[in-house]
Amino acid sequence: MNDLQEKPEVKKEREAKDDGRYIIFYTFEDEKD
Amino acid sequence: MNQLRWDPTLREWVAYATHRQDRTFLPPAEYCPLCPTRPGGFPTEVPREHYDIVVFENRFPSFTPNAPEPDEGGSVLTPTAPGRGICEVVLYSDDHAATLATMSERRIGNLIEVWADRYEELGASEEVDYVFIFENKGEAIGVTLHHPHGQIYGYPFIPPRPAKELEAAREYRSQNENRCLHCDLLSQEHEDARRILTKGEHFTAFIPFYAHFPFEAHVYSRRCAPSLADLEAAERRDLASVLKRLLGGYDSLFGFSLPYMMVMHQAPTDDENYHGIAHFHIEFYPPNRTADKLKYLAGSETGAGAYIMDVLPERSAETLRGKIESQ
């Protein structure tokens, strides 16, 4: 659990779909526990 | 085909996106295109087995970055323009049955981080003048997919309702010693207190004095922040907490997951200065006036633009506040 005064740590991964559209995955460190 | 046509009688653009007629409509849960792609299952929009929060370009966009010049040229009176902009889908969770109301405060907080990131990234695009973050929830609102998700439209213009609000705020500021219209409205609500629903350290939820829907709620930043991107970490966390309480109250109102439209009003991204004019806030418009009766936008509302209400905001606020406090 992150400190409430801090922004959560996030991993942002941008990928291309088969039809060329983009998709972005946001994965949060504080969601792992 | 993405095309804009100008309505000179109302002085506003109408967007045409004819390919949207064929979009996926209420598929069974096992064929939800917004769920993760399961091993051996059909490929959904998301090529992973699990995810936290996902954003992708809408397959059926109302606006697209590469929209060509329209075949229909229009006229001087009724010009046309390419429907250039961006439309994104935001998946709140990989749990098909979840709703924003049932999610943890932490997940709502993380979603706010994503919304802020999209506001900044889309707002930096040349073709986007207004980043509009919204959610349509429930079949009563016309949703075509039940999976918990919202949308973001990057409009190539400032849409009429926010434009009208900004114009009112600009005029108020010029006539009232540079005061912010929304700050003064919020002060009035705090002083009156009858329509306050719940307060956090940095945000307040209330039913406005002039509500257009029986259980319409506005969530205002107490600080005059123009956009999500201007909010500090503590403010974003407090917003998550206030939203969680408000949404829990909504679902307690009639004993079912309440349909609503949720929209965010914030500063346009057309490089003008909106400090003291744009004041970040979220508006909720649930259509229900009772458990089994809806508020329709009928003749007066749609044709005349004049809302007729059956219930006073003070009465609705008392009911909803009671539900929020008894959670």
CA angle B319, B135, B121 (to 5 degrees): 135
Is the C-alpha dihedral spanning B142, B147, B149, B151 positive or negative?
negative
Instruction: Flag whether B232 is in a domain.
Output: yes
Are A26 and B56 within 8 A, CB to CB? Answer: no
d(CA B155, CA B157): 5
The range of the structural domain enclosing residue B101 comes to 24-59+85-325
Summarised one tens digit per residue, pLDDT across range B148-170 is 999 999 999 999 999 999 999 99
C-alpha distance from B291 to closest chain A C-alpha (Å): 35
In a domain, B167, yes or no: yes
CA distance B271 to B123: 9
Q: Enter the ipTM.
A: 0.93
- Per-residue pLDDT tens digits for B166-215: 999 999 999 999 999 999 999 999 999 999 999 999 999 999 999 999 99
Question: Do the Cβ atoms of B138 and B257 come closer than 8 Å?
Answer: yes
Q: Whole-model pTM? A: 0.95
Would you say residue B8 lies in a domain? no
Cα(B82)–Cα(B70) distance, integer angstroms? 6
Of B56, B114, B117, the CB nearest to A21: B56
In a domain, B78, yes or no: no
Measured between CB atoms, does A11 come within 8 Å of chain B? no
Instruction: Return d(Cα B204, Cα B309) in angstroms, integer.
Output: 24
pLDDT band for position B50 (cuts 50, 70, 90): very high
Q: Is residue B47 part of a domain?
A: yes
B50 is catalytic: no
Q: Dump the DSSP string for B121-162.
A: HHHTSTT-SEEEEEEEESGGGT-S--SSEEEEEEESS--HHH
Residues of chain A under the 70 pLDDT cut:
1-5, 33
In a domain, B11, yes or no: no
Q: What is the count of structural domains for chain B?
A: 1
Any A CB within 8 A of B201 CB:
no
Q: From CA B143, how far away is CA B1, in angstroms rounded?
A: 22
| Residue B69 domain-assigned (yes or no) | no
CATH number for position B231: 3.30.428.10
Tell whether B2 is covered by a domain. no
Decide if A29 touches B, using CB distance below 8 A: no
Give the tens place of pLDDT for each residue, B58-83: 998 989 998 999 999 999 999 999 99
DSSP H/E element including B109: helix B105-123
Show Cβ contacts of residue B97 under 8 Å, excluding neighbours closer than 6 positions. none
